[in-house]
Amino acid sequence: MAQLWGGRFTKEENDLVKKFNDSLPFDKRLWREDITGSIAHAHMLGAQGILTEDEAEHIVTGLKSIYQDLETGGLTFDGSSAEDIHSFVEAELTARIGDDGKRLHTGRSRNDQVALDVRLFVRTCADDMRERVLSLLDVVVRIMKDNLDTFMPGFTHLQKAQPVTLAHHMGAYAEMFRRDVKRIEDCRKRLNECPLGAGALAGTTYPLNRDMTAKELGFDRPTGNSMDSVSDRDYAIEFLNDLSILQMHLSRLAEEIIIWNSNEYRFVEIDDAYSTGSSIMPQKKNPDVAELIRGKTGRVYGDLMSLMTVMKGIPLAYDKDMQEDKEPIFDAYDTVRMCVDLMAGMLNTMTFRKDVMEASAKRGFTNATDAADYLVTKGVPFRDAHSIIGRMVLYCIEKGKALDDLTLQEFHQFSDKFGEDVHDAISMKTCVERRLTKGAPGRAAMEEEIRDLSDWLKAEQQQNEND
């Protein structure tokens, strides 16, 4: 296959240089975007009189046939000597329709062509990722609704701190994932400008209608500066940054699932479908899915840093370095997409051991602060109350008891301010229910948060249907 740029050269390309230079092995993934962009370009060329209507229609018909054959497997990339997806499509088009296929590239450079393909691809990825995270949020909110009264320890420094509920704990991740959705939506708004028509870097002398192609391809407007149009990958960096933050949130949740799944905690039972065993130890049930989600976070960060490093020293406008933009985008998207789906499936099938969680909260003295507050309500200065409860915790550790297990007589060994109501005052239920400030774990506050999340999710899903 002749190179698109071969006219100026008198020697064949070195085989190693060709292998080093060619991008079809990975950018063939952009065939849908490349053909869709070319169809819009052909429509515009015909409408502007740059090509005749018959020529434009001939080209569009040929492009649609290529699209159909690639979709069904009637056409493959196997054995192709094309340099990239652009030359593959153009050569195939010319083979099918003759010289009219050579007219498609009128008023267009591969620079604005690839800039368009990558934008279209990232836009599709953003829409898809948004929907996947919304599906994950559905699972998280369902868990919240089912566990308003599932008491568990809240932690600081990985030490048991105060009692919360599983609904409250999962609500923190719901807020993280909600922010992820909003970031992806913001990124999509910024990237939705069409670079087609920018040419190599300085536009073109042909009377292109850039507004027409932008509209046909679903963009809000054409890009503003032709040099920036072909050299901008900010939107891709922003998308990979959004994916990195999302993956970080998945990793944090995966880490907690790994801890909760351990024999020392036993807060959860991971479904067999999302666990693996040991080749030598028959008793093992390993949280490999959660561990891989955690491990792949470094890979996604690497994709982001790879693209940022590629772009950091590139002078205007287009440089071949930018061929390295695609593989990090593909890899990060594929990795995070799989991790989001796996996390949703793992959570949806996971068993939460409510009795173990509540017992852990009691054994961890998570109600110690509430016991001190109880004494304060009886007139004891907080610092004195703090000291009294500290001594009681030491006593309980020595006796192997929780504060809830102490008799009233044992309470009186430390202060005569304790009354018959102390056990009710420091129960897990009371400790949680008394925390009613917005965002706290109390039932009324949690029900408000769940309503807010549910309403927001419903609005987002309605937007999907409208779009």
Catalytic residue numbers, as ranges: 157, 278
Q: Which tokens is 313 given?
A: 């020293």
Which residues lie closer than 8 Å to 253 by C-beta, 6 or more apart?
Answer: 173, 343
CB neighbours (10 Å) of residue 20?
9
Cβ 261 vs Cβ 250: under 8 Å:
no
Distances (CA, A) of 449 to 174, 175, 241: 10, 10, 28
Cα 108 versus chain centre, distance = 34
- Taking alpha carbons only, the member of 31, 34, 3 closest to residue 17 is 3
- Taking alpha carbons only, the member of 192, 191, 173, 188 closest to residue 133 is 173
What span, in angstroms and rounded, lies between the C-alpha atoms of 216 and 304?
31
CB neighbours (10 Å) of residue 265?
16
Cβ 116 vs Cβ 198: under 8 Å:
no
What span, in angstroms and rounded, lies between the C-alpha atoms of 141 and 174?
7
- Phi/psi for 168 (5° steps) reads -65, -45
What span, in angstroms and rounded, lies between the C-alpha atoms of 14 and 262?
57
Which residues lie closer than 8 Å to 397 by C-beta, 6 or more apart?
Answer: none
Count the helix, strand and coil residues of the chain and give each as a percent rounded to the nearest 5: 65, 5, 30
What span, in angstroms and rounded, lies between the C-alpha atoms of 200 and 110?
7
The one-letter code for the residue type at 165 is T
Cβ 78 vs Cβ 101: under 8 Å:
no
